[in-house]
Amino acid sequence: MSEPQSPVRVERSGRVLVMTLARPQARNAVNGAVARDLEAAIDLLEGDDELWAGVLTGDGPVFCAGADLKVVANGGLGELVTERGGFAGLVRRERTKPVIAALNGDALAGGMEIAIACDLVLAARGVRLGIPEAARSLLAVGGALANLPRLIGEKAALELAMTAVPWPAERFVQLGLLSGVVPPEALREQALRLAESICANAPLAVRASRAAILAGRDLPEDARWELADRLLADLARTEDFKEGPASFLEKRPPRWTGR
């Protein structure tokens, strides 16, 4: 079967950019084209002032099976990485706008690493997540080993990595990694609803809140307070900072501009 014109489809839904991994015949495994096109999709999201959030999902029964092992076996591991984004053009990408992973199917190996690189994660019922690299004498160097101990706890991360056995999405909800598990037919609607609930708020305040949490997670407490104060000072110079209280006092919906 021939490859689609682009292995990452993009479509707009209001202020939300929906990005879809579109190599179902290869279980949406990451090759060079996926990495380049996913990076380009993030460029679009970040560069368009009319887009305030993203949803990342997959075509077919699998969200993403990780690296395309055919490419890896042929010595093409470097093709799966971009300079700005790292693996899949995403996992180490600096960005300002929130992205929700909507897992339509299993997210394994690099697929799980793509998911946890997003800000929020929803999964369809029956989905599994895992890092089975040790079963193939590989390492999950796309973010799982670096970030899972912080996200789900060291002992859980050790078990997941050393047994190489995927876990059901429901277990990750209990560990705080996923926002929820929904019926498969409701996944897109629920992901868009979550994205739209973010987009209903002042976009600059959303981005500042995200930055305060993510940039501050490795800082000592005093530095986190200082970071939040700096971000608030920046926000106070914007039009939307005036619009929030004004709309409240005038008893009308706010009209956010992102300026």
Whether residue 90 is predicted with pLDDT greater than 50 in this model: the reply is yes
Domain boundaries, the chain: 8-199, 203-249
Burial of 27: CB neighbours in 10 Å, binned 0-12, 13-18, 19+: buried
Q: Which residues are catalytic?
A: 113, 133
Q: What is the pLDDT of residue 73?
A: 84
Q: What is the mean pLDDT of residues 2-7?
A: 69
19-46 tens-digit pLDDT: 999 999 999 999 999 999 999 999 999 9
Q: In the sheet where 8-13 sits, what is the strand order?
A: 8-13, 16-21, 53-58, 99-103, 120-124, 180-182
199-249 tens-digit pLDDT: 999 999 999 999 999 999 989 999 999 999 999 999 999 999 999 999 999
State the chain's mean pLDDT as an integer.
Answer: 96
Q: What is the pLDDT of residue 76?
A: 83
**Four-way CATH pick for 8-199: 3.30.720.200, 2.60.40.420, 3.40.50.970, 3.90.226.10:** 3.90.226.10
Q: What is the pLDDT of residue 176?
A: 97
pTM score, whole prediction = 0.94
What angle (nearest 5°) sits at the alpha carbon of residue 209, between those of residues 207 and 214?
A: 90
Q: What is the pLDDT of residue 251?
A: 92
Q: What is the mean pLDDT of residues 72-92?
A: 93
Percent of the chain, pLDDT > 70?
Answer: 98
Assigned fold of 203-249: Lyase 2-enoyl-coa Hydratase; Chain  A, domain 2 (1.10.12)
DSSP string computed for the chain: -PPPS-SEEEEEETTEEEEEE--GGGTT-B-HHHHHHHHHHHHHHHH-TT--EEEEEESTTEEE--B-HHHHHTT-GGGGEETTTEETTTTT---SS-EEEEESSEEETHHHHHHHHSSEEEEETT-EEE-GGGGGT---TTTHHHHHHHHH-HHHHHHHHHH---EEHHHHHHTTS-SEEE-GGGHHHHHHHHHHHHHTS-HHHHHHHHHHHHHHTTS-HHHHHHHHHHHHHHHTTSHHHHHHHHHHHTTS-------
Cβ 200 vs Cβ 252: under 8 Å: no
Whether residue 68 is predicted with pLDDT greater than 90 in this model: the reply is yes
Q: What is the pLDDT of residue 131?
A: 98
Q: What is the pLDDT of residue 1?
A: 42
Whether residue 157 is predicted with pLDDT greater than 80 in this model: the reply is yes
110-142 tens-digit pLDDT: 999 999 999 999 999 999 999 999 999 999 999
